[in-house]
Amino acid sequence: MRLSSFWRAESDARNVLFFLPAAILLGLVVVYPILRTTILSLFHLKLATQFQAEFAGPENFVRLLFDSRFHNSLKVTGLFTAVSVALEFGIGLLLALAANALVHGKGLVRTVLLVPWTLPTAIIAVLWTWIFNDQYGVLNALLMKTGITTEAIPWLAGPHTAMAAIIMADVWKTVPFVFPVLLAGLQNVPRELHEAIEMDGGGAWAKFKYVTWPHLLPFVFISIIFRIIQAFAIFDLVYVMTGGGPGGGTETVSLYSYQTYMRYLDFGYGSTLVVATVLILALTAFVLHTFLHRRYERQF
């Protein structure tokens, strides 16, 4: 290959220089912290040890096995991730299919729908907290005015309704991310194939199943994986809207780890929580990847 020989013509040391700033920055901000957290997960580092690291071996991990608060936070995070990603994907796909058929105004629709995604999640949390407020919130006012409910629902005061409120806020923010990705995917679908199906007498469902869906799969795959990783790390929405309450009903793993670090100042166990979370997330991603990949390959 001509070009790689062009690059090899100069000394290798100079090629490395292009990567050096990025390597330093990533080493400092990403690699070192990951290693440090992993090591700390095997240590006690808290007030009781006067903030001196003491080797703990597997003790923190044993504690984690019996920590019902951690188990609860895993359940909360799993539920939040599954429901919100499923909803975002469903709504995003419907919306992309509808918008793809638009002849005029695609740009306007994309601009309007992009706005929620650009706002800070923590600010979105403030925004929805007020809408869900039981006394003065506009949602209860609307529900009562239309006669759907007769009494004000204390949304953020019950664990299930609080979870529903957080999921709604998250879906509102992230459909605008899933939608343009899927729309781009739809615009990649070759028109001739649709025409071929029409000639064979196939209807809309046949077009979707045999042409659109297989072409869309890579986009579906990437947006779902990306969203699962983000949703699993959810922190801002919960911190601002409920603080994890009521009664731990919305406490996600990121929030519990944050409280362990910054409120209980237990840096060793906090690290253990974080490492365990990453391992569980990695396992989930691996299983999902294998599963989706196999289905994806079977399509062809």
Which residues from 115-174 bind other proteins, rule CB under 8 A?
115-123, 125-128, 130-131, 135-136, 138, 141, 144-145, 172
Pick out residues in 60-119 that bind other proteins (CB under 8 A). 91, 94-95, 97-99, 101-103, 107, 109-119
- Minimum distance between the CB of residue 245 and other proteins, rounded to whole angstroms? 9
Part of the chain binding other proteins (CB under 8 A), chosen from 54-62, 178-186, 192-200, 287-295: 178-186
Residue 15 backbone dihedrals phi, psi, to 5 degrees: -60, -40
Any bridge partners for residue 54, and if so which?
44
- Minimum distance between the CB of residue 66 and other proteins, rounded to whole angstroms? 22
Pick out residues in 276-295 that bind other proteins (CB under 8 A). 277-278, 281-282, 285
Contacts of 160 (CB under 8 A, 6+ apart): 249
- Minimum distance between the CB of residue 198 and other proteins, rounded to whole angstroms? 17
Nearest residue to 109 (alpha-carbon basis) of 173, 163, 179: 179
Nearest residue to 244 (alpha-carbon basis) of 230, 257, 232, 231: 257
Distance of CA 256 to the CA centre of its chain: 17
- Minimum distance between the CB of residue 261 and other proteins, rounded to whole angstroms? 5
Pick out residues in 249-278 that bind other proteins (CB under 8 A). 254, 257-258, 261-262, 267, 270-271, 274-275, 277-278
Part of the chain binding other proteins (CB under 8 A), chosen from 23-31, 63-71, 79-87, 193-201: 23-31
Pick one of 13, 14, 199, 297: the residue that binds other proteins (CB under 8 A).
14
| Nearer Cβ to other proteins (26/287) | 26
Residue 13 burial (10 A CB sphere; 0-12, 13-18, 19+): exposed
CB atoms within 10 A of CB 255: 23
- Minimum distance between the CB of residue 145 and other proteins, rounded to whole angstroms? 6
Interface with other proteins: number of residues (CB under 8 A): 97
Rg, the chain, Cα only:
24
| Element holding 44 (H helix, E strand) | strand 43-44
- Minimum distance between the CB of residue 264 and other proteins, rounded to whole angstroms? 13
Question: How far from 170 is each of 12, 109, 249, CA to CA, in Å?
Answer: 47, 20, 17
- Helices 106-118, 159-186: inter-axial angle, 10-degree rounding: 140
Query: Measured over all CA atoms, what is the biggest interatomic distance in the chain, rounded to whole angstroms?
Result: 78
Residue 43 backbone dihedrals phi, psi, to 5 degrees: -125, 155
- Minimum distance between the CB of residue 199 and other proteins, rounded to whole angstroms? 22
- Minimum distance between the CB of residue 288 and other proteins, rounded to whole angstroms? 13
Pick out residues in 214-253 that bind other proteins (CB under 8 A). 219, 222-223, 226, 229, 232-233, 235-236, 239-240, 243
Stretch 25-64: interaction string toward other proteins, x if CB under 8 A: xx-xxxxxxx-xx--x------------------------
Contacts of 299 (CB under 8 A, 6+ apart): 213, 214, 217
